[in-house]
Every structure is written in structure tokens, then in C-alpha cells.
Structure 1
């Protein structure tokens, strides 16, 4: 199963966008599915407030696992992680117009009325899978370069 297929499968099961994206990469990056789904569970819908798209935050978590930076004095790892993070955000924004959930969806998920309207319009079932796929593809491109 490809990363994209796994992410879309997770999303269709009811997991948040952030969980779907990180979950697609978790095993190969040394993280259990349970831990990946748990740690990324609070990031869907731009942290439920329309901020940075959860698909992006899930991808950035995967990038963080691939390009580890965990020693404060490891400047090389820090610079590599920062560079790949910046490039991911740049490419995602170029492909989709924004990295912010509220701008991508056209609805502010911090407003219950707008959240309900987005759900009624099928945004979560029709639009969000496209962002999940885009985030996975973009992360995969960078991790394979």
C-alpha cells in the first residue's frame, strides 16, 4: 500500500487529517501506529481552529522523524530539518494556495456555525482528502530527494 493510499484509508476511517498523514509514514520511521495516531490526534482541522492545516502538521511530524533534530548542539541536523520544513511549506502552499486550514476550506473551524456549514457542504469528505493526498505526496517527494 502506498503512503497516499494508507493516508486516505485512515482518513476515510474517521481519523483526522493530521493522523492520516503521520500514520501513513509512522511504521517506516520507527513509530508505532498507536503512538502516531495518538500524538497527531490534536492537530486536525488546524488544531480545531482553522490554523495550519492538519495534513501539513502531520507531514511535518513525519519530516521531523526522518530528519531528526534532538541534540541542541547538532547544528547540521537543525539546519537540515529547518530547510526541509520550509521547503515542504513552500511546495504545499504553491500547490494549494495556502497552508492554513481556514483559507484552504474557506471556513473558520473555530466557529461552530462555519464548521457545521463546512460539514454540510461535504468539505471534510470531498476537499480534505485532496489536502491529505497533497501533503503525503509533497512529504514523500522531499523525503526521497
Structure 2
């Protein structure tokens, strides 16, 4: 694992769990983005649960926010991020659809969301490795 994933899993395993998927990713990168963790969590608060309505997964939207805050706005890189995240999940990117598919396969919600967070962070780190 990497330091970003390790920190994310620490946040996700706090009891009670208070960070949604987007808040977790935003908090992990807070220092690198020039903000404190409280500011980062506030930015991500409305993106968990697919913008609180089952839309695009918060792990994906927060990944795009982190990339943008790091100065990466290239359509090629952003497209690569989205394509690869969708590709790991049969083309699905909406929270509701991802959770339905996970439940259909007998998966647990927290485990699924933690995996989405890990995948997003690993991809962010890969895409920003040379930046």
C-alpha cells in the first residue's frame, strides 16, 4: 500500500465513521492541496453517496477534484482517469448502480466503498507520479 491509501483506511476505520468516500479522499490530499483536513472534508461533504442522490460515485468525483487542484485538467488525463475507474467496474460510475451491482454479487457496502477509495487514490497517485 501507499501512504495515501494507508491514511484513507485509517480514516475509514475510525469509530464512529464520519467520513464519506469523497471526504476521505479529500482529507488524504489536504496538505498537498494547501488546505487543512477540515476544509477538505467540507469540500467533499456533499459528494458522498453519489452527490447524496446516487449519481457519480464520490470516490470518482473527489478524484477529479484532487486532480484539478493539482493542476491537472488535461482532457486526456481526466478521460483516462474516468475510463479506468469505469473499466474496473463494468462501465459503472454511478454510486447507486455500483452499490446495486455489489449487493447483487453479495458484497458488503463498506468493503465496496473502501475499495473504490483505494482504486481512486492509486490511480490519482499513478497519474500524478511525474508531476
TM-score range, shorter chain: 0.7 to 0.9
Residue in structure 1 matched with residue 127 of structure 2 by the alignment: 142
- TM-superposition CA deviations, 1:2-26 (whole Å, max 9, x none): 1011112222232000011111111
Partner in structure 2 of residue 61 of structure 1? 65
- Equivalent position of 1:75 in the other structure: none
TM-score, structure 1 normalization: 0.75
* Alignment partners' CA distance in 1, 2:46 and 2:107: 21
TM-score (norm 2): 0.82
Q: State the distance in 2 between where 1:123 and 1:28 align.
A: 31
The residue that corresponds to 2:42 in the other structure is: 38
Distance in 1 (alpha carbons) for counterparts of 2:10 and 2:33: 19
CA distance in 2, matches of 1:4, 1:91: 18
Aligned to 2:93: 99
Where does the alignment leave 5 or more consecutive residues of structure 2 unmatched? none
Alignment gaps of 5+ in structure 1: 69-77, 108-117
Alpha-carbon separation, structure 1, partners of 2:64 and 2:39:
16
Q: Is the 8 A contact 1:63 1:84 kept in 2?
A: no
1:104 CA displacement: 1.1
Is residue 52–residue 99 contact of structure 1 (8 Å, CA) maintained in 2?
yes
Alignment of 1:92-131 (within 5 A): 92-97=85-90, 98-106=92-100, 123-131=108-116
Instruction: Report the structure, 1 or 2, having the larger helix content.
Output: 1
User: How many angstroms does 1:123 deviate by?
Assistant: 3.3
